Amino acid sequence: MLSGLGSENLSLQLARSNWRLTVPEYFMVRLGLMAASLLLGWVIFGSPLSGMALALVAYMVPGILLQRNISRRQIAFAKQLSDVLSLLAGGVRAGYSLLQAIEVVVREIKPPASDELARVVKEVGLGVRLPEALRNLAARVQNADLDLAVTAIDIQYQVGGNMAVMLATVTETIRERVRLFGEVRVITTQSRYTSYLLTALPVFIAALMFMINPTYMSRLFEPGPLLCIPIGAGVGIILGHFAIQRIIRLEV
């Protein structure tokens, strides 16, 4: 029954984060945290509204951790990508096939790149064509530089050519992009964390006030003119977050 609650997008996100959970297991963990937080808040603060506020926070935590882990792995993979392609080019130049070179990289490189490339080797072992397995890798990682490399490999498979020279050229291009991307991230670090703080702070303060004094806070959600306050606050927080993210987003 729970498998019907899942989605292909959530399954892909779990794969990107390398969490060893299925979609139903993820929902079970999330529901379990909500139930435990509801009971804990009810017992500690003596009000079901306090428990509901704590359960809301518990519901948000797994999603936040999931996205954070995905982002961390994507950044780590981007830093390793030029080294991965250099090893692939060296392996192909030494006489290995591309798949054999990938197996060498799996043994030599550290996670997360080794984990993702090991999946490619496993898919090929199960009968998937190597270009298709690489496209699956690009769909999981969502890295523009990897997309460039996979497209170049796919074209080389179709029309032929010197794989080692092609990989070396792509590697040099990606190294320059990674260098520029690192400079941009350093410049925008303060603004990015400011947007996260300004978005999360009102939500957590509201949840904390719900737990401390639920009767006082519940008046904001009663039918009437006061209901405009939480609605306006929520809309303002969302718009402010997207505005800041749009300002600091720079394409490299």
Q: Counting Cβ atoms within 10 Å, is residue 53 exposed (0-12), middle (13-18) or buried (19+)?
A: buried
Q: What is the pLDDT of residues 28-65, one digit of tens each?
A: 988 999 999 888 888 887 777 778 888 888 888 888 88
Q: Note down the domain range covering 150.
A: 78-181
- Are 38 and 52 contacting, i.e. CB atoms less than 8 angstroms apart? yes
- Examine residue 88 and state whether it is found in any structural domain, yes or no: yes
Confidence tier at 252 by pLDDT (50, 70, 90)? low
pTM: 0.65
- Examine residue 170 and state whether it is found in any structural domain, yes or no: yes
3-state helix, strand, coil in the chain (%, to 5): 85, 0, 15
- Examine residue 242 and state whether it is found in any structural domain, yes or no: no
CATH number of the structural domain spanning residue 172: 1.20.81
- Examine residue 29 and state whether it is found in any structural domain, yes or no: no
| Interatomic CA distance for residues 24 and 29, integer angstroms | 9
In the block, which residue shows the tokens 């882990």? 69
Q: What is the pLDDT of residues 126-176, one digit of tens each?
A: 999 998 999 999 988 888 888 988 988 888 888 877 888 888 888 888 888
- Examine residue 150 and state whether it is found in any structural domain, yes or no: yes
- Examine residue 67 and state whether it is found in any structural domain, yes or no: no
- Examine residue 51 and state whether it is found in any structural domain, yes or no: no
- Are 37 and 49 contacting, i.e. CB atoms less than 8 angstroms apart? no
- Examine residue 209 and state whether it is found in any structural domain, yes or no: no
Count up the domains in the chain and report the number: 1
